[in-house]
Amino acid sequence: MSAASTSKKRIRFTVSGVVQGVGFRPFVYQLADKYTLSGFVSNSGKGVSIEVEGSAEDIKAFYEALVTMPPPLARIESCEKEEIMLQESEGFIIQASSQSDSISSMLPVDVALCDACRAEMKDPNNRRYKYPFINCTDCGPRYTIIDTLPYDRKNTSMKFFGMCEACVLEYIEPSSRRYHAQPISCYECGPQLFFIDLEEKNCRYESDVIALAVKKLQSGKTIALKGLGGFHIICDATNKEAVESLRERKHRPSKPLAVMAASIEAMLEFALLSESEISKLSSKERPIVVVSKKQNRILADAIAPNIDKIGLFLPYTPLHELLLEAFGKPIVATSANLSDEPIITDEQELLQKLSFVVDGVVTHDRDIRNACDDSVMMDIGGDALFLRLARGYAPKSIYHQKPIEKNILAFGANQKSTVALSFGHNTILSPHIGDLNSIDAVNYFQETIATFERIYEFVPEIVVCDKHPNYESTKLAHAYAASHPKTELIELQHHYAHALAVMAEYGLEKEVLAFCFDGTGYGDDGTLWGGEVLRATPTQYSRFAHLQTLYLLGGEKAVREPRRVGLSLLFELFTFEELKNLEHPLVTSFTPQELKTLHMMHTKGINRPASSSVGRLFDGVYALSGFLEELGFEGESGLILEKIAMQYKSDESYPFTIEGGVIEYTEMVREIVFEKEPKLIAAKFINTLCEIIILLAQQNRELSVVLCGGVFQNRVLVEKLKKRFESHSIEYYIAKETPVNDGAISLGQAYYVRKILEQKSKDNNE
């Protein structure tokens, strides 16, 4: 027997992670061919199964290439291998997918149009010239068209489109860029594009769709366009009347609108872009990136009024690219939905709910199975900071070294809601669902849970939710547990979940000092927290420090009307007589009777919830700076203070004290009252928050710092903190791959339960 034959082996590899719908099987096929190995590769519920037979040396080289050089869209979380009996097989084949008893493969995300497909789409000699649904293994829809795993055409909404002969030949050829690209199609066999003209009694057109849409835009009209995960509402971003009309019709007075431009070159005409921002804008995920505006006369002022930031993104579907190329100007592209409702994915629902907003609809007959909004991020010092995790990035899978034996379902928060599933080695964070302030939003939340349960054949054994009794997500978790008696229910404090989300992203198991600054969250004492400094481990926490209490005069009304928060700060400083004689715009904005009524509410504790929220303190400082209008959207006060703070370069800060774990800022308010320059107030206030964090971090140098909560969406604050941390050699963590706001609460909840289960398992084995 020769040495070569004795070294021959057959190895089975089980690869899990993002390995379906990303060209992994043809990659394995070509790798096996390169190393002259026989065997097969197939999709399964666990990911990808591979068996290779050949010399030990060739199998070793195959394995090293497999795990170190996977396809660009793939992410290997684990690769198990075992030696099995030789079969003396010949050749290497790609087998049909099998369904495993354990579904643990990660859902593939949607990917923007790749350069190769773009080149074909622009080539007049190509059979897919200007084809609005062109895609290949490296790009196109995934999550938004999938019904279940494994990711095969029969399990997607493409199952209704039989492939023509030419597409079949590409689909079955392992060397083709479209080998097993599940959404593959062409003019002959693919989805059909339509234009519905609402100004012509919903007349439906099947030809010249792009031209008809462009004609509407050129005349200042608004259209809806069916994207990957839902409809966009679109108008000419350079047309003042068109943008203002869209705002009026959509009842969106001031919340910024995202702008889509055809190229980076086009964006540079109206935005200041760093190299890092350009890289993120141009990435395969094509997120909306919040960048600095440039003084220009191109875009309508109403796109992002009162702030110096704008959300920009590049086209990510061939349909968007074709429209922008034909129109020749940037467009507003905002999610098609009613206020507090999820993005619309169905043409009939769009016509029913938004016919008063749009004048035409560009649609098609490929169903959107799973809604998915656009991702939104900022770039801070080269790092991503997510405001919304969705298309291109979610579902987000996180791999844990230690498996758990029970299935966990986390219900998240009420705003920017998401859900998370945790099982085995994995936690799956859903795409952004939205605020649960409407029946449709709640229904969509429940549909998302049902979708993930179906896809992963997932039966929760533990459900975890926020402690806030009035959160819809909390109510749903309780109802779920009540209807499933064997399911355990756990409630977790909101800000601790914020800290845990960052710890989950980085896999932290040590104690940290977590600064959890946001707008609101239900505290352990029944008040509204939001300025919390926690000493936290993955299984327990203590409230180390917190912001001095302020009061929300009128409850929820104070959240929309910041001058009420500002007035409550003054009530803490001055007597009523002193206040009446105070010459300050905030005071004079109220009538004498309003002042008297609000003062009575404050002194008698009537409808004035207590809060330790940094977000609400931002509102109060905003009002004390002379901004007295109602807020048009959440976080507007912070964005405006950020804008004017950047106009005043100073390291000055206001006085504060920390006694008995309470961060006292009364003297800061006193100084602000007599300041004259709003930009000075904003700069010194943000510097003060920075000083508070640095002081507490230095007092606890044995602990790494975690920053979490919506307040850390403030670019000026985070940039200052990063510089100070680095200069003081303080180790810190802030989310880079998950939202810094409530969008990651479900991840933190799931991480807590995982760690509790791990601890119990460890205790039982000792």
Rounded mean pLDDT of 76-92? 91
At 260 the three-state DSSP class reads strand
* Per-residue model confidence as pLDDT tens digits over 300-328: 999 999 899 999 999 999 999 999 999 99
Assign 98 a pLDDT band (cuts: 50, 70, 90).
Answer: low
**445 pLDDT above the threshold of 80:** yes
Assign 23 a pLDDT band (cuts: 50, 70, 90).
Answer: confident
Residue 730 to residues 466, 499, 715, 733: CA-CA distances in angstroms? 31, 17, 19, 10
Structure tokens that stand for 183 in this block: 């959404």
In sequence order, what are the residues at sequence separation of 6 or more whose Cβ sits closer than 8 angstroms to the Cβ of residue 57?
7
Burial of 534 from C-beta contacts in 10 A (0-12 / 13-18 / 19+)? buried
d(CA 129, CA 118): 9
Assign 1 a pLDDT band (cuts: 50, 70, 90).
Answer: very low
Choose among 155, 152, 147, 153: nearest CA to 190.
Answer: 153
Q: Is residue 204 a contact partner of residue 211, using CB atoms and an 8 Å limit? A: no
Which contiguous run of DSSP H or E holds residue 166? helix 165-172
Rounded mean pLDDT of 24-38? 92
d(CA 541, CA 562): 32
The angle formed by the CA atoms of residues 38, 137 and 449, to the nearest 5 degrees, is 105
Half-sphere exposure at residue 445, Cβ-oriented, CA atoms within 13 angstroms: 31
d(CA 309, CA 234): 20
Task: Name the DSSP class of 564.
Answer: H
Which of residues 378 and 18 earns the better pLDDT score?
A: 378
Which of residues 185 and 72 earns the better pLDDT score?
A: 185
Choose among 555, 581, 509: nearest CA to 756.
Answer: 509
Q: Is residue 707 a contact partner of residue 732, using CB atoms and an 8 Å limit? A: yes
pLDDT at position 106: 75
Residue 292 to residues 238, 275, 297, 317: CA-CA distances in angstroms? 17, 13, 15, 25
pLDDT at position 104: 59
In sequence order, what are the residues at sequence separation of 6 or more whose Cβ sits closer than 8 angstroms to the Cβ of residue 601?
553, 554, 607, 608
**β-pair partners for 231:** 226
pLDDT at position 97: 66
At 251 the three-state DSSP class reads coil
Task: Specify the amino acid at residue 338.
Answer: L
| Phi and psi angles of residue 34, each rounded to the nearest 5 degrees, phi first | -60, -40
* Per-residue model confidence as pLDDT tens digits over 319-352: 999 999 999 999 999 999 988 789 999 999 999 9
Structure tokens that stand for 543 in this block: 């409230």
Domains, the chain, ordered by start: 3-94 (3.30.70.100), 107-190 (3.90.870.30), 193-364 (3.90.870.10), 395-492+741-765 (3.30.420.360), 514-733 (3.30.420.40)
Task: Name the DSSP class of 432.
Answer: P
Q: Is residue 589 a contact partner of residue 563, using CB atoms and an 8 Å limit? A: yes
Half-sphere exposure at residue 620, Cβ-oriented, CA atoms within 13 angstroms: 29
d(CA 635, CA 618): 9
d(CA 746, CA 732): 22
Rounded mean pLDDT of 63-90? 90
Assign 6 a pLDDT band (cuts: 50, 70, 90).
Answer: low
In sequence order, what are the residues at sequence separation of 6 or more whose Cβ sits closer than 8 angstroms to the Cβ of residue 755?
509, 538, 539
Residue 747: CB atoms within 10 Å = 33
The angle formed by the CA atoms of residues 102, 107 and 108, to the nearest 5 degrees, is 145
Choose among 393, 355, 354: nearest CA to 373.
Answer: 393
**β-pair partners for 226:** 231
Q: Is 520 left (phi over 0), alpha (psi -120 to 50) or beta?
A: beta
* Per-residue model confidence as pLDDT tens digits over 170-221: 999 888 999 889 999 999 999 999 999 999 888 999 999 999 999 999 999 9
Which contiguous run of DSSP H or E holds residue 297? none
Residue 335 to residues 202, 340, 576: CA-CA distances in angstroms? 21, 12, 47
Burial of 589 from C-beta contacts in 10 A (0-12 / 13-18 / 19+)? middle
| Phi and psi angles of residue 757, each rounded to the nearest 5 degrees, phi first | -65, -40
Q: How far is CA 361 from the centre of its chain?
A: 27
Q: Is 729 left (phi over 0), alpha (psi -120 to 50) or beta?
A: left
**446 pLDDT above the threshold of 80:** yes
| Phi and psi angles of residue 752, each rounded to the nearest 5 degrees, phi first | -60, -50
**2 pLDDT above the threshold of 50:** no
pTM for this structure? 0.92
> Would you say how long the chain is, in residues?
766
* Per-residue model confidence as pLDDT tens digits over 481-532: 999 989 999 999 999 999 999 999 999 999 999 999 999 999 999 999 999 9
Residue 454: CB atoms within 10 Å = 13
**99 pLDDT above the threshold of 60:** no
Buried b (16+ CB within 10 A) or exposed e, 337-356: beeebbbbbbbeebbebbee
Q: How far apart are the first and last CA of the chain?
A: 50
**651 pLDDT above the threshold of 80:** yes
Q: Is residue 751 a contact partner of residue 504, using CB atoms and an 8 Å limit? A: yes
Residue 400 to residues 252, 425, 506: CA-CA distances in angstroms? 42, 5, 10
At 185 the three-state DSSP class reads coil
d(CA 414, CA 245): 31
